[in-house]
Each structure stands twice: as C-alpha cells, then as structure tokens.
Amino acid sequence: MTAVNWLLRPGGAAVMTDTLRHGLDGTPLGFTSKITTMPHLNMVFVVRGVSRFSLGAYVGAREKIPIGAIDGFCDAVPEWLRDIQPDIAAEVTAANSAPQNPDAPMDVAEVLAFGWSDLRRRICGVLFSSLRDFAPQDLPDGMMFAPEIKIEPTEAERRVIAKAKSPESLIVGAKVQRREWTESSDMKVGGELVLCELRRHGLSMRVVHRFEEDFEAFARRQAGHD
C-alpha cells in the first residue's frame, strides 16, 4: 500500500506521497504520481491499496461534479466506488494468480481526500475505506502517517517530527517509513517525495526529496546489470 503522510489544519493541508511503483513481490516497476489533483473542486485525493480505484474516483469527480468543493465529492464517491468494486476485485484476482496470501481480499482500498469545504468553511480531510463500505470518515486535525510508523525514530528524527512542520516533518517521517519497510514486499517508500499544499483558493505541488539510489538501481535493472 502507498504511504501517505499529511498535516491537516482548518486553514490548509500538506499531503505527501512517494512515487515508487512496485509489484506484489516488492519488485520495483517504475515511478508514478500518486496524488490526483482536482483543481476545479479545490481538492486532491490519494488511493492506498488497489490503485484502480483512483481512476473510478477521478472519472466520477471529473464528469459528475463540474464545480464546487470537496462536499460534492464526499456525497458522490462512495456510490461510485461501490459500483466498481466487484469489477476491480475480479481484475486483480485474475492478474494475481499466485498471491502471497490467498486469503487476502483483492479489493481493499482507502481513498484519502483533502480539500476546501463550503459547508464547513475550512480545509477538510476525509477517508473512504472499502472495509467500511466507503462511508466517509472525517480525518482529525494534526500530522498523521498512514500506515502508522512502528519503529523507533532517532532522537533527532523525533524532534523534527514533533514540530509538525511542512515539509520538514513529513520528509523525516517518510525517511523513517522507508527504513521500516525496506524488507517489506507490500510496502515501499522510494523514488521521490511529492508534496501537495492546499489553501482556500488553490493548491500547489512540488518534489521535496529524491532518493537517487532508487533511480540508479532501476536504471541498472533496466539495462540488465542486476
């Protein structure tokens, strides 16, 4: 699953993901953008788990919510995701003929959306999880790491994370996640760290860190040297 880190406050949000794509066995497949921007709704969203849900959410928001804010997305997206869930489960199951865990569900996903709410007059964060039938759940204010960091950061890392400052705290958190999941097959952090910052009247995106060794390793693999 994709690691998503964010700092949410009423006046704005900072959302960070990496760009590494990898297979179910952990093999790097390349690099991609994981944050989907919807400027006409002044919002963004990220999908954790089965990435095919991202297309369904994007197409629905693009075609059925022409103007507005995150409120319309929250009203409509649960139904869209429920509608496409059976097809996605069938596709993923067919593509994954020898899963590492045959009992694991093939359609697990979380959609995390961040944007301006006209109803609440603030920037909001909302989670839609397949484990809860995609019913919207408000995300609390503050800094969060998904999934939660379980290893112990160094004292220097802990001090930076505790400041809850963007982008420094989010970058350090991602580096801790990368260290924690180096040996994991279903969770990797790599490529670049992309930060999206949202305010009342717009959003901006930029690369804030690059793991050069990932690109070097991928180039060697593509050349057949590994």
Q: How confident is the model at residue 69, as a pLDDT?
A: 79
Architecture of domain 4-222: 4-Layer Sandwich (3.60)
Q: Domains of the chain: which residue ranges?
A: 4-222
What residues are paired with 35 via a beta bridge? 46
Q: Please give the chain's pLDDT, 226 residues, in tens.
A: 688 999 999 999 999 999 998 765 666 778 988 998 988 888 999 988 755 555 556 555 555 555 567 898 888 888 888 877 776 666 656 655 544 444 444 457 788 999 999 999 999 999 998 889 889 999 999 999 988 898 999 999 999 999 999 899 999 999 999 998 876 555 678 999 999 999 998 899 999 999 999 898 888 888 876 6
Phi, psi torsion values for 216, nearest 5 degrees: -65, -45
- Using alpha carbons only, how large is the chain's radius of gyration in Å? 18
CB 162 within 8 A of CB 145: no
Q: How far apart are CA 115 and CA 126, in angstroms?
A: 9
Residue from 197, 220, 195, 145 nearest 11 by CA: 197
Cα atoms found within 13 Å of the Cα of residue 143, Cβ hemisphere only: 17
Q: What is the pTM of this model?
A: 0.85
